[in-house]
Structure 1
Amino acid sequence: MNSPPPHVRVIASPQSWVEGEAIRQLEAASRLPGMRSAVGLPDLHPGKGAPVGAAFASEGLFYPFLVGNDIGCGMGLWELDLPARKARPDRWAARLDLDGPWEGNTDAVLADMGVKPCGFEAALGTVGGGNHFAEVQRVDAVHDAETFTALGLGTDRLLLLVHSGSRGLGEAILRAHVDRHGTGSLVEGSDEARRYLARHDHAVEWARANRATIAGRMMQGIAAGGRRVLDVCHNSVTPKPYEGHTCWLHRKGAAPSDQGPVVIPGSRGSLSYLVLPLGDGVNHAHSLAHGAGRKWTRTSARERMRERFTPEALTRTSFKSHVICEDRDLLFEEAPPAYKAIDRVVQDLVDAGLVRVVATLAPVLTYKTRTRRE
Structure 2
Amino acid sequence: MNAADIRIIASPESWIDQVAVDQLRQTAALPGIDAVVGMPDLHAGRGIAVGAAFWSRSHVYPHLVGSDIGCGMGLWRTGIARRKFRADAAERRLHGLDQTWPGDRAGRLAAVGLPPAAGEALGTIGGGNHFAELLRVETVIDAALFAEAGLDAGAVHLMVHSGSRGLGQAILDRHRSRFNVAGLAAEDPACAAYLAEHDAAIRWAVLNRAVIAERFLDRLATRGERLLDLCHNSVTRHRDGWLHRKGAAPADGGLVVIPGSRGDMTYVVRPRPDRADDALQSLAHGAGRKWSRSEARDKLSRRFRIADLERTRLGSRVICEDRDLIFEEAPQAYKDIHQVVRDLQQAGLIDPIAMLCPLLTYKVRRA
TM-score range, shorter chain: over 0.9
Residue 105 (str. 1) matches residue 104 (str. 2): yes
Q: Give the structure 2 partner of residue 177 of structure 1.
A: 175
Residue 165 (str. 1) matches residue 163 (str. 2): yes
Aligned-partner Cα distance in 1 for 2:116–2:252: 29
Residue 15 (str. 1) matches residue 16 (str. 2): no
Alignment counterpart, residue 251 of structure 2, candidates 254, 257, 265: 257
Alignment counterpart, residue 148 of structure 2, candidates 147, 150, 153: 150
Q: Give the structure 2 partner of residue 31 of structure 1.
A: 29
Tell me by how many angstroms 1:118 deviates.
5.7
Contact preservation (8 Å) 1:118, 1:169 = no
**Equivalence map 1:175-324=2 (5 Å):** 175-241=173-239, 246-278=240-272, 279-324=274-319
Give the residue type in structure 1 aligned to 2:114.
Answer: K
Give the residue type in structure 1 aligned to 2:261.
Answer: S
Tell me by how many angstroms 1:60 deviates.
1.0
Contact preservation (8 Å) 1:129, 1:368 = yes
* Cα distance change of structure 1 residues 366 and 115 upon mapping to structure 2, 3 Å threshold: farther
Tell me by how many angstroms 1:273 deviates.
0.3
Aligned-partner Cα distance in 1 for 2:245–2:320: 28
**Stretches of 4+ aligned residues off by more than 4 angstroms:** none
Contact preservation (8 Å) 2:106, 2:116 = no
Aligned-partner Cα distance in 2 for 1:17–1:236: 26
Contact preservation (8 Å) 2:131, 2:161 = yes
Aligned-partner Cα distance in 2 for 1:184–1:194: 15
Q: Give the structure 1 partner of residue 362 of structure 2.
A: 367
Aligned-partner Cα distance in 2 for 1:186–1:334: 35
Tell me by how many angstroms 1:82 deviates.
1.1
Contact preservation (8 Å) 1:65, 1:174 = yes
The C-alpha deviation readout for 1:294-341, integer Å capped at 9, x for no partner, is: 000101100111111100111111221111100010000000000001
How many corresponding residue pairs?
365
Alignment counterpart, residue 55 of structure 1, candidates 53, 56, 68: 53
Tell me by how many angstroms 1:220 deviates.
0.8
Please state whether the residue corresponding to 2:68 is helix, strand or coil. coil
Contact preservation (8 Å) 2:109, 2:119 = no
Alignment counterpart, residue 117 of structure 1, candidates 109, 115, 118: 115
The C-alpha deviation readout for 1:114-149, integer Å capped at 9, x for no partner, is: 231362312101000110000010000111111111
Unaligned residue ranges in structure 1 (runs of 5+) = none
Residue 79 (str. 1) matches residue 77 (str. 2): yes
Give the residue type in structure 2 aligned to 1:56.
Answer: F
Tell me by how many angstroms 1:5 deviates.
5.1
* TM-score for both structures, normalised by structure 1: 0.95
Please state whether the residue corresponding to 2:324 is helix, strand or coil. helix
Aligned-partner Cα distance in 1 for 2:110–2:87: 33
* TM-score for both structures, normalised by structure 2: 0.97
Contact preservation (8 Å) 1:142, 1:359 = yes
Contact preservation (8 Å) 1:311, 1:328 = yes
Aligned-partner Cα distance in 2 for 1:318–1:83: 23
Contact preservation (8 Å) 2:105, 2:116 = no
Contact preservation (8 Å) 1:115, 1:206 = no
Alignment counterpart, residue 353 of structure 2, candidates 350, 353, 358: 358
Contact preservation (8 Å) 2:247, 2:284 = yes
Please state whether the residue corresponding to 1:223 is helix, strand or coil. coil
Aligned-partner Cα distance in 2 for 1:306–1:152: 41
The C-alpha deviation readout for 1:265-287, integer Å capped at 9, x for no partner, is: 00000000000001342111100
Please state whether the residue corresponding to 1:53 is helix, strand or coil. strand
* Cα distance change of structure 1 residues 169 and 118 upon mapping to structure 2, 3 Å threshold: farther
Taking only the aligned residue pairs, the percentage that are identical comes to 52
RMSD of aligned alpha carbons: 1.2
Contact preservation (8 Å) 1:295, 1:338 = yes
Tell me by how many angstroms 1:111 deviates.
3.3
Aligned-partner Cα distance in 1 for 2:297–2:3: 41
Give the residue type in structure 2 aligned to 1:268.
Answer: R
Please state whether the residue corresponding to 1:127 is helix, strand or coil. coil
Residue 325 (str. 1) matches residue 320 (str. 2): yes
Deviating more after overlay: 168-177 vs 313-322? 313-322
